[in-house]
């Protein structure tokens, strides 16, 4: 009997479907006037999209405020001015754009427990429905995957570890870029190549 040629494609194993690829990630960072979702407000939102292990898109917007502009928090930290906020898009428009960018993606942030409550509360105030998403926290992921690290798992320390340049910390776009780069490195370092790999190593917030 003639043997099959070794030059042709290798057939897939019967009954075994190919693994689903990694999802698309919408890596989000926000800058706020303070730490309380009750008393403080979002000033800036950024989204960096990661697909197939690469940064493929980014977007950032300031957020116009409806309350007195003197309440914008420490400018020395976030660098955002009252003048810049006066000409910014309305919060409703910013959150509508954000929701479109989240659609079909996994929401990722460094400390999701800070960013997500601010965004959901702002969405309720603005009567915007955010796209339902699974949520991935790179802070929690780093702690889970590298529990023996001597240094902390703060974003700045991850940047030092992975040689990621973030020359404007506390700017939403620069922090989102740094978080996206750290996410890609975490996935690469731990051999995460498919959705199944990711689910085995990390339990999403829902």
| CATH number of the domain that residue 31 is part of | 3.30.420.10
Q: Is the pLDDT of residue 2 over 90?
A: no
**Quick one: pLDDT at residue 160?**
93
Q: Which two tokens stand for residue 44?
A: 């800036």
Residue 4 lies in a domain: no
Give SS3 for 24: coil
- CA nearest neighbour of 194 among 53, 56, 33, 3: 53
What mean pLDDT comes out for the span 114-137?
Answer: 96
Query: Which of 145, 128, 119 lies closest to 46 in space, CA to CA?
Result: 119
The tokens describing 172, both together, are: 């939403």
User: Is the pLDDT assigned to residue 69 strictly greater than 80?
Assistant: no
Most confident residue range from 16-20, 73-77, 105-109, 194-198 = 105-109
* Nearest Cα residue to 132 out of 94, 108, 111, 105: 105
- The band of 76, judged by pLDDT with boundaries at 50, 70 and 90, is low
Q: State the average pLDDT over residues 146-164.
A: 89
The verdict on residue 176 lying in a domain is yes
pLDDT band for position 67 (cuts 50, 70, 90): low
pLDDT at 14: 52
The answer to whether position 2 is within a domain reads no
Number of domains in the chain: 1
Percent of the chain with pLDDT over 70: 87
Query: How many C-beta atoms lie closer than 10 Å to residue 163's C-beta?
Result: 8
Does residue 11 lie in a domain region?
no
The answer to whether residue 15 is domain-embedded is no
Q: How far apart are CA 100 and CA 3, in angstroms?
A: 53
Q: Is 3 inside a domain boundary? A: no
**Residue 1 resides in a domain:** no
Q: Please say if the pLDDT value at position 68 is more than 80.
A: no
Residue 58 lies in a domain: yes
> pTM score, two decimals?
0.87
**In 3D, which of 178, 204, 186 has the Cα closest to residue 29?**
178
190: domain range? 25-201
Cβ 19 vs Cβ 196: under 8 Å: yes
């Amino acid at each position: 009997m003639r043997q099959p040629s070794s030059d042709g494609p290798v057939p897939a194993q019967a009954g075994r479907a190919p693994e689903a690829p990694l999802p698309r990630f919408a890596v989000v960072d926000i800058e706020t006037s303070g730490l309380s979702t009750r008393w403080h407000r979002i000033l800036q939102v950024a989204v960096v999209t990661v697909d197939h292990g690469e940064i493929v898109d980014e977007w950032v917007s300031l957020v116009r405020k409806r309350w007195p502009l003197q309440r914008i928090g420490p400018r020395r930290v976030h660098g955002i001015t009252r003048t810049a906020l006066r000409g910014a898009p309305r919060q409703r428009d910013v959150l509508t754009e954000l929701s479109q960018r989240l659609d079909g993606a996994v929401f990722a942030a460094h400390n999701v427990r800070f960013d997500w409550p601010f965004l959901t509360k702002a969405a309720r105030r603005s009567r915007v429905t955010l796209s339902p998403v699974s949520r991935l926290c790179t802070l929690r992921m780093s702690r889970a995957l590298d529990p023996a690290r001597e240094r902390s798992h703060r974003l700045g320390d991850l940047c030092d570890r992975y040689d990621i340049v973030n020359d404007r910390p506390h700017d939403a776009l620069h922090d989102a870029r740094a978080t996206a780069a750290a996410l890609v490195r975490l996935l690469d370092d731990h051999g995460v190549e498919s959705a199944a790999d990711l689910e085995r190593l990390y339990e999403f917030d829902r």
